[in-house]
Amino acid sequence: MASIDSTSLVSQPKPLNILLVASEAVPFAKTGGLADVAGTLPLELTRLGHRVSLIMLGYSMIDASTHGLTPWGQLSVPTATGPKEAIVECGVLPDATLPAGRQAQIFAVRHDPYFARKGLYQESGADYPDNLERFAFFCRAVVQWLVEFQNKAKWVPDVIHAHDWQTALCLAYLKILYVDYTQHHAVGTLFTIHNLGYQGLFPASDYPKTGLPPSLFVPSGLEFYGSCNILKSGLIYADLLSTVSETYSREIQTPEFGFGLDGLIRERHDRLVGVVNGIDTNVWNPATDTHLPAHYCATEVSGKRACKSALQHEMKLPVKDVPLLAVVSRLSVQKGLDLVAAIVPELMRLNVQLVLLGAGDVSAEDQWRSLHGRYPHQLGLRIGFDEGLAHRIEAGADLFVMPSRYEPCGLNQLYSLRYGTVPIVRRTGGLADTVVPYTPTTVQERRATGFMFGEASADALLNAVLLALQVYKDRTEWSRLIQTAMQTDVSWARSTRAYEAVYRQTLRSVRGDS
């Protein structure tokens, strides 16, 4: 696995032109953590002095007037069935701290037949059947836009940073279909895997829709056990690869976590790095959070007690001083919420409360509704998602439970550290990289920030919860744990420096830049 040159973590005098490509980004469109990364990283890179642009899909929910987008121009996009027209709009990523003229740019590619829909990738739990055409069109539009943007604005990126399978074809198009466009030869490319479980798998019969040569539909190309795997185009054609935590970058090289691609990833291990995500500490700040009924900080946490009482009231639970555990999650097998459900009866005998906010698998939703019916005075439930409530849960809970079977990075444990809500996590991916487990050594050194368990089993989770509840009884020890957690740096500052180093490493790999 490649290592990040630590000397490059010092800001370099030469700014870079950086293009990020993503299928979602805050505040425009979001389904998960990818949007937080894609919307925040450009701003942080801009603060370091780089010239940054983000290009994404122009979904119908992105209102041009609300977001200050104006027409940039039209594109004739080549596709497997002939050229299609796209409209490109442009604007700036909102951030009041960046002066005018030094803001990150946003470009949105609109083509209503593909993108004017209720969802980003699916509706009612079912993927759109034409997702391959949709994202192939977007990727081809990005490369075509890049050619015209270079001619129009004389702006050539030093690095193109693409995220997840929806953007992976950009890298194949650059290397295969635009190989004769000389300005692209010196552009470094980075492909970030946010979750290897999502690969963009389609029937082999759909492969021609990519517009790539038939010769690439082989096991060493985009063929994958008889299917077409779009993610592979990013893994094969990017100059460097990254994941969103160091532990996950090692895990995906194993059969357990590699989802059939571990062999390919091992072949490119020397081009793979892990950079853990940060969070927007302006948005996630218990001292200023507008979603909260009271504010607090690491040196004055009395406001957290008020947040707990308000949360109990909002979730229709008795307002009393008992340990309050919380879950905010997508209800899926990956997230391990079945392990939490399995121990609910035991937890309810321990005089604790539990709140859950989430949505996902229908069977999981039904299971949690059933548990809520059995324990209405100890289990608060909200099926769905509510951004404000997510903030209030982070502030009001004592413990946050994340028993993920795998977790590339995870964000809620970072929110929890920031809000002094002690995380209980499984030792996997970014959870292992960001939470310091409670042990005699870490306690003595005052480094412990949470609790951790290894085996993905209900018993292992329960033991971790029982340990946490035992420590909770010692309020002096608990206060020390909260303070250590809240003083942990979970901002984007370190992560952004690491990405800057990776970008320069990418350039060295293609043109020997220093």
Q: Which two tokens stand for residue 76?
A: 């004739």
470 with 497, same domain: the answer is: no
Exposure string for 21-40, b = 16+ CB within 10 A, e = fewer = bbbbbbebbbeebbbbbbbb
Same domain for 497 and 480?
no
The per-residue pLDDT for 273 is: 97
Residue 422's nearest CA partner among 359, 368, 465, 474 is: 465
Task: Report the candidate in 329, 320, 348 with the shortest Cα–Cα distance to residue 394.
Answer: 329
Q: Is residue 159 included in any domain, yes or no?
A: yes
Residue 288 lies in a domain: no
From 204, 265, 197, 213, select the one nearest 234 (Cα to Cα): 265
* Residues 110, 147 share a domain: yes
Amino acid identity, residue 490?
A: V
Q: Cα separation of 490 and 413, whole Å? A: 10
pTM for this model (two decimals): 0.91
3-state DSSP call for residue 312? helix
CA distances from 292 to 127, 256, 389, 395, 419 (A): 35, 40, 9, 8, 11
The answer to the question of residue 147 being in a domain is yes
Looking at the 3D structure of the chain, how many domains does it have? 2
Do 477 and 505 fall into the same domain?
Answer: no
Whether residue 5 lies inside any domain: the answer is no
Q: Are residues 223 and 322 in the same domain?
A: no
Query: Would residue 295 count as lying in a domain?
Result: no
Sorted by sequence, the CB contacts under 8 Å of residue 490 that are 6+ apart come out as 278, 279, 281, 414, 417, 418, 434
Same domain, 20 and 115: yes
Task: Tell me whether residue 394 is in a domain.
Answer: yes
Distance CA 85, CA 78 (A): 9
What is the Rg, in whole angstroms, of the alpha carbon atoms belonging to the chain?
23
Whats the size of the chain, residue-wise? Answer: 514
What is the DSSP-derived secondary structure letter of residue 332?
A: S
Q: Is 48 exposed, middle or buried (0-12, 13-18, 19+ CB in 10 A)?
A: middle
- Residue 290 included in any domain: no
Distances (CA, A) of 38 to 27, 411, 451: 10, 14, 30
CA distance 286 to 420: 9
Per-residue pLDDT of the chain (514 residues), as tens digits, is 666 554 444 444 589 999 999 999 999 999 888 998 999 999 999 999 999 999 999 999 999 999 999 999 999 999 999 999 999 999 999 887 887 778 999 999 999 999 999 999 998 879 999 999 999 999 999 999 998 888 777 788 999 999 999 999 999 999 999 887 756 678 999 999 999 999 999 999 999 999 999 999 999 999 999 999 999 999 999 999 999 999 999 999 999 999 999 999 999 999 999 999 999 898 899 999 999 999 999 999 999 999 999 999 999 999 999 999 999 998 989 999 999 999 999 999 999 999 999 998 999 999 999 999 999 999 999 999 899 999 999 999 999 999 999 999 999 999 999 999 999 999 999 999 999 999 989 988 999 999 999 999 999 999 999 999 999 999 999 999 999 999 999 999 889 999 999 999 999 888 775 4
Instruction: Decide: 282 and 404 in contact? Cβ < 8 Å.
Output: no
Q: Which helix (H) or strand (E) holds 190?
A: strand 188-193
Same domain flag for 374 and 414: yes
477 and 507, same domain (yes or no): no
User: Does 144 share its domain with 174?
Assistant: yes
Work out the angle at residue 92's Cα, subtended by the Cα atoms of residues 87 and 93, and round it to the nearest 5 degrees.
115
Per-residue confidence (pLDDT) for residue 141, from 0 to 100: 97
Residue 4 counted as domain residue: no
Please report the pLDDT score of residue 150 as a whole number.
Answer: 81
Residue type, 146: L
Range of the domain at 312: 302-488
CATH code for position 335: 3.40.50.2000
What DSSP designation does 6 have?
A: G
pLDDT reported for residue 8: 47
Same domain flag for 241 and 349: no
Q: Are 398 and 325 in contact (CB under 8 A)?
A: yes
The single-letter DSSP state of residue 329 is: E
Enumerate long-range contacts of 28-33, CB under 8 Å, 24 or more apart: 28/56, 28/59, 28/62, 28/67, 28/106, 28/108, 29/56, 29/57, 29/59, 29/61, 29/62, 29/120, 31/120, 31/121, 32/194, 32/330, 33/194, 33/244, 33/277, 33/409, 33/410, 33/411
Same-domain pairing of 436 and 501: no
Considering the domain architecture, whether residues 258 and 117 belong to the same structural domain is answered as yes
Question: How far is Cα 48 from Cα 46, in angstroms, rounded to an integer?
Answer: 5
